[in-house]
Structure 1
Amino acid sequence: MSGYSFPVLENREILECMSELGCAMTEEQLVKPSPDHITRVMEQLLDIFMGFSADDNAQMRFSGIDVFDHPELHEFSVGQLAFNRSIMKLMQASGVHDFSHKDLSKPEYPRIRKIFSAVINFAKFREEKVSTFEQFVEATENLQNEKSVVDNKFEELTVQLHQLRAQRKQEEPIIQGLQQENEKMEEQIKSLNVEQSNLKAKIHEMKQHRQELSDKRDHDQFALLTLKTEVSKL
């Protein structure tokens, strides 16, 4: 943090930015700061950045105060100690490492200008980080939503797969019966193919035999005709 730096802003920009933060003030209050006003502004800044309000400060004054012998002497110091610790944390985070109680009890314009410039710069840095974080959160939520959609689809497909497996298991006997019947039909087809092949061979053989008989008949008829012709010549 020792190398942390920030620009010292002009009065106009300080007043505008502090107003945007909810800590409105006049230029006179900035240029001529008073302890009471600066303390109130610091309380507002603590409430904005650290959630430490004036009510919390007052509550801490009374919480556990009874442990002291003279509580009335410590009522203010307990709350003031908590306030000082919180404001130191804010100043350290803003880069003001030389902040002291004097900046509250005897505030001076150059110091207050520097402190407010640092806090404003820290606020802008914090806003950027918050915006980046919110974008990251949004992206994470989108991914989570997409994951939920994928998970739901996966569960849906898993249910469908189980249903298909159950259906297949129920239909398995039918499928096996059809497969067995198909195998029988294939055997019958093979047997018929063999029988058909044998019949084709027999038909071919019969055709050849018929052709031989036809040829023999034609030969015998021709021989008979020749014989008749020769007999008629005698």
Structure 2
Amino acid sequence: MSYNPRMSILPAAQQQSRSRKKEEEAAYANMRLPDREIVGCINEMGIPFTVADLQKPNPMQVQMIFEWFGELLMNKTRQTVDPAMRAAAEDICGDFGDALMPPDTRNLMGFFASLQRLMFDCGVHDFGFSDLYKPTHDRLVKIFSYVINFVRFRESQTGVIDEHCNRAEGTKARIEQLYAENQNMEAQLDDMRANRRQMEALVAEKTRRNEELKKRLLELRRNQEKVAARLENAKTKKGELAAELEEKTAAKIALQKESAKLRPYTLQSPSALQASLTELSNTLNNNKAQIDSLDRRARALQTSSDSFAVVCSDVASCIKLLEEIAVELAKEEEDNAKNAKQRDALTERGANVREVERTEALLQRQLAKWTERTETLRAQSQEKAQRAREKMEELRAVHKTLTEERSEKGKDIERRRVRIEQIEKKVCALPGEVHRKPADMRFRCWISRRTSRMRCTPHMTSTSSWRPTSSSTSLKWSRPSEPAGSEIMSLCGRMGTVRLAAICVLKDWNRYP
């Protein structure tokens, strides 16, 4: 046997929807405004509107009122949404946008989307297109009540809303400024990167050219050393050949001198002459051979000297080229120094960009935090406004109850006052009749004692003090200052006192026939 309570056969979703519907109905009962108040608010906007128009709504007039609400709360009308809707129609339909989507229809649809978002913020979650084209009295009363209450709440919280709006605008302006600075920094960084790539290409080209020049310079230096060595060898050979030529010239001169000395001896005998001739022919041949060899050596030396001149010109050109290479190397060093400075500046700008990115991330987090805090404050203000409205409704109900009770007590007091005045008139008429009785003096004494006793001992209806005042026709009690409820109770006490005095007088009158 199960002891669990009986469960409902309805699904949980239907129960939740019913409970939610009950809560919405209770909230709507608190938010609902009278028809006259709604009509008065709409007339204050400058739109002619009556209770009959609210009970039998006209779609065009209702659309005009909603458009005014949209312009007041969101600054959006059909004209403001027209450019965006026209662009959307052109993107979707191309040149046939106006033919397939008329301007009035698409503007109304765009305005309806903005208006639906506004109604959701006001608390109307079931706002539909039928509320624009087929409005009913109940729906309009509900929607206008929510919107008017939202406008009143917004006017009551204008300072807070302006403060948050100013903070949001300031934050937005700061974000836009930082974003613009970030864009500028990124553009500068891209330019610097492009310059860096160009400079790297130039540096690579100059480095390659420098390496080629270094290799050529090394080859030229080797060639210069070889040419210098050959020049030294040629100079040495030239010196040796010149010394040998001088020696042979000196030997020739000496031989000529000797031949001049020996010439007389040639005339001595033919055989001797023949022998000397043969000897001289041999000597001559030898000398010619030596002279030919010396000529060949001289021509070789001339060729060597010409080659030496060519080598000297090549060496001069190499020296000039080396000077140009030295100038290029100096320029290359200057470019390297500039590249190093630009690289340092690029590193510094990169650090600045990272710092800006960190600052932007920090500002994004602060913006998210302030947005969340704004939402929290908005929710708290809505809860406070809801509690204030509930308390106001309770106070209205209590005020209405007190007003009804006061009116009823006033009517009852008026009836009792009339009765008291009638009894007072009867009491005032009694002394004329008592004057003819034997006990006239005793009755007057008794009346004075009873009146003085009633004046001195009033019926207290509250903890405050009363002061008696006498009049020619009735006994009145007055208090300096007291609320309406206390005056009513004091008046009831006075009526009871007068009634008691009248009853006592009638009873005592019956004692004296």
Normalising by structure 2, we get a TM-score of 0.25
Q: Is the 8 A contact 2:78 2:108 kept in 1?
A: no
Q: Is the 8 A contact 1:60 1:78 kept in 2?
A: no
Residue in structure 2 matched with residue 17 of structure 1 by the alignment: 41
Cα RMSD of the aligned pairs, angstroms, is 2.6
Measured after TM superposition, the shift of residue 124 of structure 1 is 0.5
Q: Residue in 2 aligned with 1:46?
A: 70
> Are residues 25 and 97 of structure 1, via their aligned partners in 2, closer, same or farther at CA, if it must alter by over 3 Å?
same
Identify the residue that residue 53 of structure 2 maps to in structure 1. Answer: 29
Give the Cα–Cα distance (whole angstroms) in 1 for the partners of residues 75 and 108 of structure 2.
16
1:89-168 counterparts in 2 under 5 A? 89-134=117-162
The one-letter amino acid of 2:100's match is L
In 1, the alpha carbon distance for the partners of 2:165 and 2:108 equals: 37
From the superposition, tell whether residues 81 and 136 of structure 1 become closer, same or farther in structure 2 (CA, over 3 Å): closer
Among residues 62, 74, 80, which one is paired with 2:101 in the alignment? 74
The equivalences for 1:166-181 within 5 A come to none
Decide whether the 8 Å contact of 1:30 with 1:109 is kept in 2. yes
- Match of 2:33, SS state, is coil
Distance 1:135 1:100 in 2: 33
Output the CA distance in 1 between the equivalents of 2:144 and 2:47.
11
| Number of corresponding residues | 137
1:65 aligns with 2:89: yes
Kept after mapping to 1: 8 A contact 2:131/2:139: yes
Secondary structure class of the residue paired with 1:63? helix
CA positional deviation for 1:75: 3.3
Alpha-carbon deviations, 1:177-198, whole Å to 9, x = none?
xxxxxxxxxxxxxxxxxxxxxx
**Structure 2: where are the runs of 5+ without partners?**
1-19, 167-513
Measured in 1, the distance between the counterparts of 2:52 and 2:83 equals: 32
Q: How many Å separate the matches in 2 of 1:96 and 1:37?
A: 20
Give the distance between the partners of 1:137 and 1:104, measured in 2 at CA: 31
Matches of 2:164 and 2:125, distance apart in 1: 31
CA distance in 2, matches of 1:100, 1:136: 31
| Structure-2 change in CA distance of 1:19 and 1:59 (3 Å) | farther
Partner Cα distance (1:115, 1:106) in 2: 14
Inter-CA distance 60–37: structure 2 relative to 1 (3 Å threshold): farther
Within 2, Cα distance between the matches of 1:21 and 1:37? Answer: 13
The whole-number CA distance in structure 2 between the counterparts of 1:106 and 1:136 is 38
Q: In the alignment, what sits opposite 1:221?
A: none
What is the identity percentage for the equivalent residue pairs of Structure 1 and Structure 2? 29
Hey, what does 1:146 align to over in structure 2? none
Task: Measure the CA separation in 2 of the matches of 1:62 and 1:137.
Answer: 30
Q: Supply the AA of the counterpart residue of 1:127.
A: E
Instruction: Letter of the 1:73 partner, please give it.
Output: L
Shift of 1:21: 3.6
Mean alpha-carbon deviation: is it higher for 13-22 or for 86-95?
Answer: 13-22
Q: Distance in 2 between matches of 1:79 and 1:127?
A: 29
Q: 1:104 to 1:116 in 2, by over 3 A?
A: same
One-letter amino acid of the counterpart of residue 85, structure 1? A
TM-score when normalising by structure 1: 0.51
Could you say which structure has the larger radius of gyration?
Answer: 2
| Cα shift at 1:123 | 0.4
Amino acid at match of 1:121: N
Looking at structure 2, the residues matched to 38 and 137 of structure 1 have their Cα atoms a distance apart, in angstroms, of 30
Map of 2:31 onto structure 1: 7
Could you tell me how far apart the structure 2 residues matched to 1:19 and 1:90 are? Answer: 21
Aligned partners of 2:118, 2:131: CA distance in 1, in Å?
14
Are the equivalent residues in 2 in contact too, given 1:95–1:118 (CA < 8 A)? yes
Structure 1 residue identity aligned to 2:36:
R
Distance 2:107 2:79 in 1: 10
Letter in 2 for 1:50: M
Higher relative contact order (CA 8 A, sep 6+): 1
How far residue 135 of structure 1 moved from its aligned partner, in angstroms, is 7.6
Q: CA deviation at 1:22?
A: 4.0
State the alpha-carbon separation in 2 of the partners of residues 137 and 41 from structure 1: 26
> C-alpha distance in 1, partners of 2:163/2:48?
30
